[in-house]
Structure 1
Amino acid sequence: MHPMKALRQYQKVNSHAQISEASPHRLIQMLMEGGLDRMAQAKGAFARGDIATKGLMLGKAADIMIGLRDGIDKEKGSAEELERLDSLYEYMTNRLIEANLRNDMAIVDEVMGLLVTIKTGWDQIANTPIE
């Protein structure tokens, strides 16, 4: 077996194991990490002139934003806060589509910055003791 193929298979199995054992909070963290990773991959592909991969990775990042949006628990939190988060995810999705169409990596940087901000807050929730 080719070493890279074996590595990809291991990563796939490892990812499935992590997902099956993850809490709902951790799953959201994993989605955010995946979104950031796909955007970084898109930027790398664009820098190499690989426009097809850039488009694929931005499409996957947009799909992750849609997944995050769909995962908003409407039963928890204030309606106003949840609406703002929903709108932000929608904005980020639209910006990624625009970045892909315009080949504008500055837009990808903008979305990455927004997602890092959200993820930082989300990560802090995980470290907050329950009283």
Structure 2
Amino acid sequence: MNAMRGAAAYGRGASAYARVGVESGVMSASPHQLIVMLFDGALAAMRAARLHMEAGNVAEKGRAISKALDIVNNGLAAALDAEKGGEVAERLGALYDYIARLLLSANLHNDVQSLSQAESLLESVASAWREVGAQAGSE
């Protein structure tokens, strides 16, 4: 029984330590780095959803897809500035909307193909975003 309590306490401690690390990273990140973190979080949630889908774990798949949706809708899409971004922001907004619909379809129908397409599209945008950051950092 003590070993179980110790493991649980360790798990809580490790979780708290990870939260502090993430919070510290967010506090010290540039706006560009924050967007990269959003991409990374959404893509990680999509990978987790795929694993849960393949394992038949419906509840965890739903949680992972919900997390990805939340990041896409309330993080990435919400960060778009239509005034400054113009047509690029408009097109990204439409793409994020399409990715959200793919995620909803993947969740509703256990559709790995929709999940893969959403992940591929988001990875393409994330890759371009990382490249812009790398070029800006080298100037």
TM-score (norm 1): 0.92
Counting aligned pairs with the same residue, the percent is 35
CA contact (8 A) 2:72 2:100 kept: yes
- 2:84 paired with 1:72: no
| Equivalenced residues, count | 130
CA distance in 1, matches of 2:32, 2:84: 13
Gaps of 5+ in 1: none
TM-fit CA distance, 1:94: 1.1
> What CA RMSD, in Å, does the superposition of the two structures yield over aligned residues?
1.4
Specify the code of the residue in structure 2 equivalent to 1:69: A
Q: 2:32 aligns to what?
A: 25
User: How far off its partner does 1:6 sit?
Assistant: 2.0
Matched AA of 1:6: G
Equivalents in 1 of 2:93, 2:29: separation in Å? 23
Q: Which has the larger radius of gyration?
A: 2
Query: In structure 1, what is the Cα distance between the partners aligned to 2:11 and 2:24?
Result: 20
- Matched AA of 2:92: L
Shift of 1:75: 3.5
Alignment gaps of 5+ in structure 2: 1-5
Does the CA-based 8 Å contact 2:82-2:90 persist in structure 1? no
Amino acid at match of 1:11: A
TM (norm. structure 2) is 0.87
In 1, distance between residues paired with 2:38 and 2:136?
23
Runs of 4+ aligned structure 1 residues displaced above 4 Å come to: none
Alpha-carbon distance in structure 2 between the residues aligned to 1:74 and 1:19: 24
Whether 1:4 aligns to 2:4 is no
Q: 2:3 — aligned with what?
A: none
